[in-house]
Amino acid sequence: MSKELRIGMIGYGFMGRAHSNAYKRLNDFFPVEHRPVLKAVCGRNTEKAAAFARNWGYERVETDWRAIVSAKDIDVVDIGTPNDTHFDIAIEAARHGKMVLCEKPLAMNVQQAEEMTRAVEMAGVPNMVWFNYRRVPAIALAKQIIDEGRIGKSFHYRATYLQDWTISPDVPQGGAALWRLDVNAAGSGVTGDLLAHSIDTAMWLNGPIKRVTAMTKTFVTERVHAVTGEVAPVGIDDACMFLAEFANGSMGTFESTRYARGRKNFNTFEMNGEAGSVYFDLEEPEYLQFFEYQQQQSGKKVESHLTGWRKIHTTNSEHPYMNRYWVPGTCIGYEHTFLNALADFVMGIESGSPTQPDFRSALQTQKVCDAVIEAAKKGAWVETGAE
């Protein structure tokens, strides 16, 4: 007998679609007891929200998120709206005893993130932040390889997250489509939007970040605001580079920009340890590259002229998540990272061992993001508070 998991989706943009797809496909691929029911979608533009509801199969449309968080027929509140709305919605949803799923970054700043974490924990409601890249099979395999001790003592972590869609000064800021460029809606630029992903992945793989120093740059300092039509100063960071020291003693470099011509969503990382290295590139998402210093085959040491990087096509049923999909050699896509995240969340509810990253984990990422922005302003090292 399946149990209903009644969804109230707030927001109908890019993430509203990615999450809705996950709800619709969950039971096709994962043997869980819960069955998502798309109860309501909320958006400020009624026509657009109604079109979204028709397309994805939501039963009703709301234009005020308060109607979703207080509705008796909703179990999960999913926050897919701009960053400046996460706080109010999450706090109220927790107060009404709803499970809360929230888009990244969790909040506008650490203070908000702390309160949100307190709210879900005091209410005792399951919660998760959609850091979907953890659910790329190749990245989950990197985690497995690291946990198996195959990288050994960690020395270096190197991440890049590059895009190019804001180079033109004619791109406006603000409004439904371009809120990511408006500091009042986004909180920060590439630091919260892109580096939050890199930081989440990095801390998952390599442990807490203790301190950072950073440089940010805003290349286009004024843009027309899409809502007011007025030219307004740009408050976000267009690019950010930071150095990090991890609690395990390793060094990190992180680089992100929306001004890397030709790079659309270039998300990579490499980790180097005493015993080996891993490398991942989202433009070849099904591959994990792995270098093992002491390669053993049939108990024999491999001759040095045969050593080198292995490019593992992570499509075997032994690879993370892949036993739920197709035959070896066939790939899954971006949308499956959300499906895998949802499956982990639901399995967490059913097993009683909650999945990660929850709000508390995303709070640590928020602390690093805030420390990066502060370090760039001060031109100094800033501690994150992590041990």
> Would you say 221 or 265 has its CB closer to ligand SOE?
265
Report if residue 283 touches ligand SOE, rule: CB under 6 A.
no
Q: Strand pairing of 209-217 and 239-246?
A: antiparallel
* Per-residue binder mask for ligand SOE (CB under 6 A), 122-161, x = binder: ----------------------------------------
Q: How many residues bind ligand SOE (CB under 6 A)?
A: 4
Residue 21 Cα distances to 2, 32, 205, 284, 373, angstroms: 19, 17, 28, 22, 34
The Cα–Cα gap between 91 and 112 comes to 10
Shortest Cβ 181–ligand SOE spacing (Å): 10
The Cα–Cα gap between 127 and 186 comes to 21
Shortest Cβ 282–ligand SOE spacing (Å): 9
Please give the residues from 4 up to 33 whose contact with ligand SOE meets the rule CB under 6 A. Answer: 14
Residue 86 · residue 79 · CB < 8 Å: yes
Token digits of residue 246 = 């991890």
Task: Name the residue whose CB lies closest to ligand SOE.
Answer: 193
> Would you say 228 or 265 has its CB closer to ligand SOE?
265
Token digits of residue 320 = 């993370």
> Would you say 14 or 293 has its CB closer to ligand SOE?
14
Q: Strand pairing of 296-297 and 99-102?
A: unpaired
Tell me how long the chain is.
387
Report if residue 182 touches ligand SOE, rule: CB under 6 A.
no
> Would you say 14 or 309 has its CB closer to ligand SOE?
14
Shortest Cβ 343–ligand SOE spacing (Å): 19
Shortest Cβ 265–ligand SOE spacing (Å): 5
> Would you say 37 or 139 has its CB closer to ligand SOE?
139
User: Among 178, 243, 166, which Cα is nearest to 212's?
Assistant: 243
Q: Strand pairing of 154-162 and 287-292?
A: unpaired
Its sign, for the CA torsion 201, 15, 357, 331, is negative
> Would you say 177 or 380 has its CB closer to ligand SOE?
177
Q: What does the DSSP 8-state code read for residue 303?
A: P
Report if residue 370 touches ligand SOE, rule: CB under 6 A.
no
Report if residue 265 touches ligand SOE, rule: CB under 6 A.
yes
Residue 382 · residue 374 · CB < 8 Å: yes
Shortest Cβ 160–ligand SOE spacing (Å): 14
Shortest Cβ 195–ligand SOE spacing (Å): 11
Residue 371 · residue 382 · CB < 8 Å: yes
> Would you say 179 or 291 has its CB closer to ligand SOE?
179
Shortest Cβ 149–ligand SOE spacing (Å): 30
> Would you say 32 or 181 has its CB closer to ligand SOE?
181
> Would you say 193 or 238 has its CB closer to ligand SOE?
193
Shortest Cβ 99–ligand SOE spacing (Å): 21
> Would you say 243 or 260 has its CB closer to ligand SOE?
260
Cβ-proximal residues to 208 (8 Å cutoff; 6+ apart), any chain: 246, 247, 364, 384, 386, 387
- Phi then psi dihedrals of residue 382, to 5 deg: -130, 135
Token digits of residue 298 = 């049939």
Shortest Cβ 14–ligand SOE spacing (Å): 6
Residue 276 Cα distances to 115, 286, 295, angstroms: 40, 20, 10
Shortest Cβ 84–ligand SOE spacing (Å): 14
Distance of alpha carbon 277 from the chain centroid: 23
* Per-residue binder mask for ligand SOE (CB under 6 A), 331-360, x = binder: ------------------------------
Report if residue 193 touches ligand SOE, rule: CB under 6 A.
yes
Question: Going edge to edge, which strands form the sheet with 251-257?
Answer: 310-313, 287-292, 276-281, 266-273, 154-162, 251-257, 239-246, 209-217, 382-383
Binding site for ligand SOE (CB under 6 A): 14, 163, 193, 265
